[in-house]
């Protein structure tokens, strides 16, 4: 039994001063001045108490590439970043494209006992874009959604059927929308900085043209679709317009798309090599506008761990991605809340509530009586310098290494249990 | 000159460029007199080429020998790189072997910077991906200077595959720094984003671009670009973007044509232009050795003169 005293409880609709009593894995009571002598008391004076964050998009590399990350280290990194539930993408080796593989992830998650890990199953067998996976059976085995992630379904016909088939089983489809024929060979955003550096560009249309296609396919299918890691102003516009005419589209962005630009590549820093690529100032502004007006529903991490040696090579040869689980909250707090762009309650909506709603995890994402006791306690006044060497993640490839950020996670509770960070 | 590496024109100051060019001018006179120097005696220069090249590599090796250095060439095809050795590990090995200067060519932009950051040796970039080819730009600058005396206010037209050309980038930056007016010319499909940000004008019509030009630099057409649908046919390319005698009539009097080589006769440059009186192509090769001698000398001995 845990009692949070003097908490500033943050929910999607606002903040309230309250005590929180936690027992048997759930929130038993939310009221001022609770006294319960046998409970372990955590004084939350001056702290913000959020529902545990839910990451809809991370890569845990397990099975197959466990030198980069595994379910245990990745879920520990999640806790360090305040995430109590995470969804791992299926681009493992081999891919998570069948019920047995999905079950493997759930079992390892239970064994690790860190953040709750839900696997995302593939859309198509082997991410090959041809045959559909068993969505019904994968969902039974614990799959939270389907996605072909970094190898998006190139055939529009297959994608249209996948959306309809996913709708049948009411399983969300998370779309990494990218036209690989446009992005092929590119390593950074196709813009002034690519020209200055002599690095091959990924045109913005590689993302936005694919987003447009996938949104139109979902509209025709009458199915819902979630667009992953939105990075361009055009994508935001397409999704805003689709929402306005009633398409069941939701989307996410990542901290590096509102906290960084492609200026980061000027030093050939391979940790700034990310797909979709870091964009330009105008895109950052469009992403922030999309967050403000609700076009963007979710902040996800796209946590992509790699080993030091894999990143310490020529730019073109380095794999795409930055780790993000352990910095996402501070990035969002520093770049969105402290800039008065959004309120803490909006951050709760973006990082806890909306992910729970989209994924159908209705027992979490909120602090209310009866909800699962997944809670993160934050010191909003803490300021610190990111030191990737101290990450719980095996991946130290952080774009944000050395950045000064605000807002630090002090305690995390998962299903009523206080975790050590 | 007080710096460890030469990785790109954009890293150099105007004073450094002038120092390299004036030193190169002395070196060129020395070559013409058939003299050699001992400036790099006892020093080791290694060429590390991850991309095929004959002229640049030979030019650097000749330059190093002219200065009395011992020269070794690592051919990636037969070295431990084929066994999977990383660039960083190769660099550390060369350092441990006592190499003073590593001349690197690599297909990936920024590779020379990665190497320079992990070795004590000086690093000279002999071409990295689409990024820079500083010694080519410097030899072009030397050739233009020796012809005109001063390139301040001259009009330079670079024509061809600007998008995939490191020579275009380095030339545009260098001639801009020397006070010339640079125009780049190509179909839109061969122009990179934001090239005007390098301070040059952009013109897709070559017949307009070339009017009044003092220096014309056609870039080598890489035939494999047709596969990527960057342009249509060799015939159409030559008609719209080839440097011909007829087009040279639109240039300023006393204009010169420079080409980074190797040339495609009848494609980006007509044969009679390549062999004609405006052509500096042969002159460029000799100036290439002179410029590379200057770069090596200034990097290795630069500190001593301060």
For position A421, what pLDDT does the model report? Answer: 85
The chain B residues in contact with chain A (CB within 8 A) are: 10, 86-88, 106-111, 113-114, 128-132, 166, 169, 192-195, 197-198
Quick check: B306 pLDDT over 70? no
- Are B128 and A200 in contact (CB < 8 Å)? no
Cite the beta strand spans of B111-161 per DSSP E.
Answer: 122-128, 155-159
From the list A190, A201, A314, which residue is nearest B87 (CB)?
A314
Q: How far is CA B224 from the centre of its chain?
A: 21
Q: Which of B9, B113, B118, B129 should one mutate to test binding to chain A, selecting the residue with the greatest count of A CBs within 10 A?
A: B129
- Nearby residues of A346 by Cβ (< 8 Å), 6 or more positions away: A12, A291, A336
Q: How far is A322 from chain B (nearest CA, A)?
A: 19
Asked if the C-beta of A32 comes within 8 angstroms of chain B's C-beta atoms, the answer is no
Find out whether A122 and A97 touch, Cβ atoms under 8 Å: yes
Domain-by-domain residue ranges, chain A? 2-48+374-419, 52-359
Average pLDDT value for residue range B172-200: 94
Q: How far is A197 from chain B (nearest CA, A)?
A: 6
From the list B113, B128, B193, which residue is nearest A194 (CB)?
B193
For position B304, what pLDDT does the model report? Answer: 57
For position B196, what pLDDT does the model report? Answer: 85
Of B184, B169, B237, B246, which Cα lies nearest the Cα of B215?
B184
Contacts of A313 in chain B (CB under 8 A): 86-88, 114
- Are A197 and B87 in contact (CB < 8 Å)? no
**Edge-to-edge order in the sheet of strand B201-203:** B201-203, B181-185, B155-159, B215-218, B256-257
Rounded CA-CA distance B3/B263 in Å is 34
Of A6, A12, A5, which Cα lies nearest the Cα of A352?
A12
Annotated active-site residue A293? The verdict is no
- Are A315 and B169 in contact (CB < 8 Å)? no
Calculate the alpha carbon distances from B62 to B21, B23, B25, B260 in Å. Answer: 18, 17, 17, 18
Calculate the alpha carbon distances from A160 to A146, A181, A280, B245 in Å. Answer: 14, 19, 32, 57
**DSSP SS3 for A347:** helix
For position B305, what pLDDT does the model report? Answer: 47
For position B53, what pLDDT does the model report? Answer: 85
Chain A residues 287-316 within an 8 A CB cutoff of chain B: 309, 312-316
- Are B88 and A312 in contact (CB < 8 Å)? yes
Residues of chain A with pLDDT under 70: none
pLDDT in tens, B38-85: 999 999 999 999 988 888 999 999 999 999 999 999 878 767 777 788
As a whole-number percent, the residues of chain B with pLDDT over 90 amount to 86
For position B81, what pLDDT does the model report? Answer: 72
Task: Provide the terminal-to-terminal Cα distance of chain B, rounded to the nearest Å.
Answer: 8
Q: How far is B169 from chain A (nearest CA, A)?
A: 8
DSSP string across B281-294 = HHHHHHHHHHHHHH
CATH architecture of A52-359: Alpha-Beta Barrel (3.20)
From the list A190, A200, A268, which residue is nearest B130 (CB)?
A200
Task: Please give, one letter per residue, the 3-state secondary structure of A66-119.
Answer: CCCCCHHHHHHHHHHCCEEEEEECCCCCCCCCCHHHHHHHHHHHHHHCCCEEEE
Of B67, B61, B63, which Cα lies nearest the Cα of B48?
B61
Q: ∠ CA(A209), CA(A186), CA(A148), 5° rounding?
A: 55
In A205-271, where does DSSP find H-type helix?
Answer: 205-221, 233-244, 255-259
- The structural domains of chain B, ordered by start, are 9-131+285-305 (3.40.50.1370), 134-282 (3.40.50.1370)
**DSSP SS3 for A309:** helix
Mean pLDDT of chain B: 94
Q: How confident is the model at residue B228 (pLDDT cuts 50, 70, 90)?
A: confident
Q: Which chain B residue shows the shortest CA-CA distance from A199? A: B109
**DSSP SS3 for A421:** coil
DSSP string across B73-99 = EEEGGGSGGGGT--HHHHHHHHHHTT-
- Are A196 and B10 in contact (CB < 8 Å)? yes
Rounded CA-CA distance B123/A302 in Å is 36
Neighbours of A417 (CB within 10 A): 13
Q: Which fold has domain A2-48+374-419?
A: Urease, subunit C; domain 1 (2.30.40)
For position B156, what pLDDT does the model report? Answer: 98
- Are B166 and A198 in contact (CB < 8 Å)? yes
Contacts of B51 in chain A (CB under 8 A): none
Rounded CA-CA distance B269/B267 in Å is 5
Average pLDDT value for residue range B200-227: 92
- Are A316 and B129 in contact (CB < 8 Å)? yes
Q: How far is A203 from chain B (nearest CA, A)?
A: 10
Size of interface A-B (CB pairs under 8 A): 67
Place of tokens 């330059």: B63
Asked if the C-beta of A196 comes within 8 angstroms of chain B's C-beta atoms, the answer is yes
**DSSP SS3 for B110:** coil
Q: Which of A62, A179, A262, A302 is catalytic?
A: A302
Contacts of B87 in chain A (CB under 8 A): 313-314
């Amino acid at each position: 039994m845990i009692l949070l005293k003097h908490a500033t409880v943050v929910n999607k609709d606002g903040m309230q001063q309250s005590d929180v009593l936690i027992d048997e894995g759930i929130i038993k009571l939310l009221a001022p001045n609770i006294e319960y002598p046998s409970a372990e008391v955590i004084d939350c004076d001056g702290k913000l108490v959020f529902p545990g964050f839910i990451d809809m998009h991370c890569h845990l590399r397990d099975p197959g590439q466990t030198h980069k990350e595994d379910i245990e280290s990745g879920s520990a990194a999640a806790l360090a970043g305040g995430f109590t539930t995470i969804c791992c993408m299926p681009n493992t080796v081999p891919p998570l494209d069948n019920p047995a593989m999905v079950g493997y992830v759930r079992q390892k998650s239970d064994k690790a006992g860190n953040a709750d890990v839900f696997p995302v199953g593939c859309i198509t067998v082997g991410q090959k874009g041809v045959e559909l996976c068993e969505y019904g059976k994968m969902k039974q085995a614990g799959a939270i959604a389907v996605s072909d992630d970094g190898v998006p379904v190139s055939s529009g016909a297959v994608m249209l059927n996948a959306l309809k088939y996913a709708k049948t089983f009411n399983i969300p489809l998370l779309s990494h929308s990218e036209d690989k024929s446009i992005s092929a060979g590119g390593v950074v955003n196709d813009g002034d900085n690519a020209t200055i550096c002599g690095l091959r560009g990924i045109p913005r249309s590689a993302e936005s043209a694919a987003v447009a296609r996938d949104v139109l396919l979902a509209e025709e299918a009458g199915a819902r679709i979630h667009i992953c890691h939105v990075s361009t102003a055009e994508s935001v516009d397409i999704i805003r317009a689709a929402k306005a005419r009633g398409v069941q589209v939701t989307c996410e962005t990542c901290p590096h798309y509102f906290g960084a630009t492609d200026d980061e590549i000027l030093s050939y820093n391979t940790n700034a090599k990310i797909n979709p690529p870091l964009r330009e100032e105008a895109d950052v502004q469009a992403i922030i506008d999309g967050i403000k007006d609700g076009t963007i529903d979710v902040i996800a991490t796209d946590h992509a761990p790699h080993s030091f040696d894999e990143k310490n090579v020529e730019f073109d040869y380095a794999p795409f991605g930055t780790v993000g689980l352990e910095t996402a909250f501070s990035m969002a707090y520093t770049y969105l809340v402290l800039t008065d762009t959004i309120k803490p309650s909006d951050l709760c909506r973006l990082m806890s509530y909306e992910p729970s709603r989209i994924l159908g995890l209705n027992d979490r994402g909120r602090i209310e009586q009866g909800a699962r006791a997944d809670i993160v306690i934050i010191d909003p006044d803490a300021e610190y310098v990111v030191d990737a060497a101290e990450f719980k993640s095996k991946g130290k490839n952080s774009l944000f290494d050395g950045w000064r950020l605000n807002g630090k996670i002090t305690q995390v509770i998962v299903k009523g249990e206080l975790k050590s960070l | 000159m007080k710096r460890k590496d030469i990785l790109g024109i954009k890293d150099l100051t105007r004073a450094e460029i002038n120092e390299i060019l004036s030193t190169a001018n002395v070196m060129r006179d020395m070559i013409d007199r058939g003299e050699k120097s001992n400036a790099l005696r006892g020093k080791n220069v290694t060429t590390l080429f991850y991309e095929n090249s004959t002229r640049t590599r030979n030019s650097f090796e000749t330059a190093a020998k002219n200065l009395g250095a011992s020269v070794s060439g690592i051919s990636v095809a037969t070295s431990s790189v084929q066994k999977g050795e990383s660039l960083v590990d190769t660099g550390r090995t060369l350092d441990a072997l006592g190499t003073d200067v590593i001349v690197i060519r690599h297909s990936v932009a920024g590779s020379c910077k990665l190497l320079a950051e992990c070795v004590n040796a000086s690093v000279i970039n002999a071409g990295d991906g689409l990024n820079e080819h500083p010694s080519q730009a410097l030899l072009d600058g030397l050739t233009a200077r020796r012809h005109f005396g001063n390139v301040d206010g001259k009009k330079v037209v670079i024509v061809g595959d600007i998008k995939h050309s490191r020579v275009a980038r380095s030339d545009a930056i260098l001639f801009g720094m020397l006070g010339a007016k640079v125009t780049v010319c190509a179909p839109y499909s061969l122009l990179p984003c934001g090239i005007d940000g390098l301070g040059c004008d952009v013109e897709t019509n070559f017949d307009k671009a070339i009017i009044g030009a003092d220096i014309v630099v056609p870039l080598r057409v890489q035939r494999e670009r047709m596969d990527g649908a960057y342009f249509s046919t060799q015939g159409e390319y030559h008609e719209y973007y080839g440097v011909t005698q007829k087009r040279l009539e639109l240039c300023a009097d006393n204009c010169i044509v420079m080409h980074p080589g190797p040339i495609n006769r009848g494609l980006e440059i007509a044969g009679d232009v390549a062999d004609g009186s405006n052509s500096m192509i042969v002159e460029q090769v000799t100036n290439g050795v002179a410029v590379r001698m200057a770069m090596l000398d200034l990097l290795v001995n630069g500190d001593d003169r301060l």
